[in-house]
Structure 1
Amino acid sequence: MPLLENVTMKEFEGLRNDIQTVLLPVGSVEEHGAHLPLGTDTFHALEIARRVALERKVWVAPPLWYGLCRSTSDHPGTVGIRGITLRSVICDLVESLYNQGMKNIIILSGHAGGTHMAMIVDACEEMIKRLPELKCAVLSVLDLRKHWDGIVETPDDSHAGEVETSIIAYLMPEALRGSSSEEYPSFPDYLIVRDKRRFWRGGVWGDPAKASPEKGKAIMERSVREICRLVDRMNRD
């Protein structure tokens, strides 16, 4: 498995012409209720990338641990960066990876916040205009949920609920601290609020009680399968 941080300069140079696709996992350090670790988003995206690398010729770049966490910024444990910072970092990383011969770049984010994803997409829009041979794909783990039919029971499950609790229960059960109550945020329409925790007390969006390691395994398998298809499409087109 070609993990970028583990290879030497000589090893990388020998593989550079053979492997020109890289997966860049992006996550967050963010609250995930009372029962999941702050690194859940990063663990999720990185493990998908590593499993794809067992099936396809791709590099896996070290994850970007920090993201734009707007709705959870007032919750204990959330440590985020500004949108402009995220955009700049993504631009720099994409350009540097491209200059090292990686023409196909897939950014997979375990954190699916709307403003977070918009910054990544905007960065990549700029880079495909600047770098003529670049192919770039951007998606979050929640973009894969259409492939989870028959597994996930909770409608609109999004954060620290059935899906992410199942993932952690499967990948690293020792990190699971019990459960949290079912909850959904109640932010007022249109308003930018200061006290965000007032409208989302427990930081859960979904129902953790419906989670299981078996669901986590099935979600991972289908997610990996879809990213493998994306790798094949980028290599072929």
Structure 2
Amino acid sequence: MKFAEENSFDIKDKIKADVPVVLPIGAVEAHGGHLPLNTDNILAEKYADKLAEKTNGFVLPVLPFGQVWSLRDFPGSLTLSNATLSALVSEIGVSLYQQGFRIFVIFSAHLGNMTALKDAGRNLYDQFPDMKVMYIFYPELQSLAAEVRESSANHHTYVHADEIETSLMLYLSPEDVNMERAIDDPPILPEDSDYTPTPWQKFTSTAVLGEATLATAKKGEFLIERTLEKSVEIVEKAKKEIREK
């Protein structure tokens, strides 16, 4: 159910503690030449739609800006601070709580948002410990990716404009992918990149972190549907716990 498409008269009877509300969050950032700047917004919105449908929940309009410190100097990238993003999400959560909702699911298709979302979740917990807040990024994606990946993983966490993320787009939004411009540009990340601030232009000039030419819609379908199963499981558990209170 699209939250913003409801009207005030009708939604009042649909606001219930055990009805999840999903907030999709993405970013505007460089994704090479074959994917648009709003790739993460497209993925976040379409994934959240599926999650809300499978859990009988509402989905909010996508929050289109995120924390993009690593890619902020690439053409087209826009960034918020962690503090700003955390405050935005926290205040949305407060508003939902005041309306009567008790399950707030934040799905981010951009990994860089997760620090801010965890902070927002903690802020909401401190205010409303009876509210279930979940911040999700494709559960178990890395282990699932290992089952379909033809290329080598270039990082233990990152998937960006590579075989994996391009496959997600080919499944969810093929019309937004230009495979004629896809390239293979696996970077060599500095050894200290995981524990010291490292702008990505230090190891890539394209923002493509892998072999995008190996992407397929079939791989994307496997990854989306399998991670979605886990996401649904997480939300259904929260619904059960709310009902049992």
Q: So what's the TM-score if we normalise by structure 1?
A: 0.90
Aligned to 1:5: 4
Deviates more, 1:76-85 or 1:146-155: 146-155
Which secondary structure does the structure 2 equivalent of 1:202 belong to? coil
Q: What is the Cα deviation at residue 61 of structure 1? A: 1.0
* Equivalent of residue 119 in structure 1, options 116, 120, 132: 116
CA distance in 2, matches of 1:36, 1:71: 18
Aligned to 1:233: 237
Q: Are 1:183 and 2:186 counterparts?
A: yes
Q: What is the Cα deviation at residue 196 of structure 1? A: 4.5
Instruction: In structure 1, give the amino acid aligned to 2:174.
Output: P
Aligned to 2:205: 201
Which secondary structure does the structure 2 equivalent of 1:158 belong to? coil
Q: What is the Cα deviation at residue 19 of structure 1? A: 5.3
Q: What is the Cα deviation at residue 18 of structure 1? A: 7.1
Percent identity, please: 27
Which secondary structure does the structure 2 equivalent of 1:226 belong to? helix
Aligned to 2:227: 223
Q: Relative to 1, partners in 2 of residues 1:75 and 1:11: Cα closer, same or farther, differing over 3 Å?
A: same
Q: Relative to 1, partners in 2 of residues 1:32 and 1:72: Cα closer, same or farther, differing over 3 Å?
A: same
Q: How do residues 1-237 of structure 1 correspond to structure 2 at under 5 angstroms?
A: 2-17=1-16, 20-113=19-112, 116-141=113-138, 143-154=140-151, 155=153, 156=155, 158-177=159-178, 178=180, 179-184=182-187, 186-187=189-190, 189=192, 191-192=196-197, 196-237=200-241
- Contact 1:112–1:142 at 8 Å: present in 2 too? no
Which secondary structure does the structure 1 equivalent of 2:96 belong to? helix
Deviates more, 1:75-84 or 1:149-158: 149-158
- Contact 1:163–1:211 at 8 Å: present in 2 too? yes
Deviates more, 1:119-128 or 1:132-141: 132-141
Q: Which runs of 5+ in 2 are unaligned?
A: none
Q: Relative to 1, partners in 2 of residues 1:142 and 1:68: Cα closer, same or farther, differing over 3 Å?
A: farther
Q: What is the Cα deviation at residue 172 of structure 1? A: 2.2
Which secondary structure does the structure 2 equivalent of 1:15 belong to? coil
Deviates more, 1:10-19 or 1:26-35: 10-19
Q: CA RMSD in A?
A: 2.0
Which secondary structure does the structure 2 equivalent of 1:71 belong to? helix
Q: What is the Cα deviation at residue 79 of structure 1? A: 0.9
CA distance in 2, matches of 1:208, 1:201: 15
Q: What is the Cα deviation at residue 206 of structure 1? A: 2.1
CA deviations on 1:141-171 (whole Å, 9 max, x unpaired) are 3653334452233424611101111122222
Q: What is the Cα deviation at residue 132 of structure 1? A: 3.1
Which secondary structure does the structure 1 equivalent of 2:135 belong to? strand
- Contact 1:33–1:160 at 8 Å: present in 2 too? yes
Alignment coverage as a number of residue pairs: 233
- Contact 2:21–2:60 at 8 Å: present in 1 too? yes
Instruction: In structure 2, give the amino acid aligned to 1:225.
Output: E
4+ residue segments displaced more than 4 Å: none
- Contact 1:24–1:63 at 8 Å: present in 2 too? yes
- Contact 1:183–1:202 at 8 Å: present in 2 too? no
